C-alpha cells in the first residue's frame, strides 16, 4: 500500500552543524506534508508543514524542501543544538475524502547532537 518512509534511522551531528533529515513518500496524490519532533517521553510536536503547491518553506532554523518529481521530502535544521536531539517523523495527508483524511507517518529518524 501507500507508505511514507525515512532513509536513515539515526543521524549523528556535531553541535553547530546543519542537519538534513530525509523522507520518501509513495503516494503521489498526497498534497500536504508535516514534520514532527518527538522528544523522549513526549508526544510528537508540530515543527513545520508544506503543501504540494510549494517546494520550499522556511521556519525558525528549519527549512522543509519538497521534491514532487522524486517524491522526496527533507527537513533541514540550521546550527543544530543539543535541544534538537529527538526523533523526527514526516507525515503525509493520507488518501480519502478531504474531510476525513488521517495522517500517514514514516518510521522516524533519531537525531543525536554531539557537543
Positions in the binding site for other proteins (CB under 8 A): 32, 34, 36, 41-46, 49, 51, 87, 89, 91, 99-100, 102-108, 110
Query: CB under 8 Å to 31, separation ≥6 — which residues?
Result: 51, 52, 53, 93
Of residues 12 and 45, the one with the C-beta less far from other proteins: 45
In the bound complex, what is the minimum distance in angstroms from residue 42's beta carbon to other proteins?
Answer: 6
In the bound complex, what is the minimum distance in angstroms from residue 32's beta carbon to other proteins?
Answer: 6
In the bound complex, what is the minimum distance in angstroms from residue 16's beta carbon to other proteins?
Answer: 26
**Using CA atoms, how far apart are residues 39 and 17, in angstroms rounded to an integer?**
20
**Using CA atoms, how far apart are residues 32 and 42, in angstroms rounded to an integer?**
24
Of residues 34 and 113, the one with the C-beta less far from other proteins: 34
Give the DSSP letter of residue 61: S
**Using CA atoms, how far apart are residues 78 and 33, in angstroms rounded to an integer?**
20
Of residues 4 and 113, the one with the C-beta less far from other proteins: 4
Amino acid at each position: 500500500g501507500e507508505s511514507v518512509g525515512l532513509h536513515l534511522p539515526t543521524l549523528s551531528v556535531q553541535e553547530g552543524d546543519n542537519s538534513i533529515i530525509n523522507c520518501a513518500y509513495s503516494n503521489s496524490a498526497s498534497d500536504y506534508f508535516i514534520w514532527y519532533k518527538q522528544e523522549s517521553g513526549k508526544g510528537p510536536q508540530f515543527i513545520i508543514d508544506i503543501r504540494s503547491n510549494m517546494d520550499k518553506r522556511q521556519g525558525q532554523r528549519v527549512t522543509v524542501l519538497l521534491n514532487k518529481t522524486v517524491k522526496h521530502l527533507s527537513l533541514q535544521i540550521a546550527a543544530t543544538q543539543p535541544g534538537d536531539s529527538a526523533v523526527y517523523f514526516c507525515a503525509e495527508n493520507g488518501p480519502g475524502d478531504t474531510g476525513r483524511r488521517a495522517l500517514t507517518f514514516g518510521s522516524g529518524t533519531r537525531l543525536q547532537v554531539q557537543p
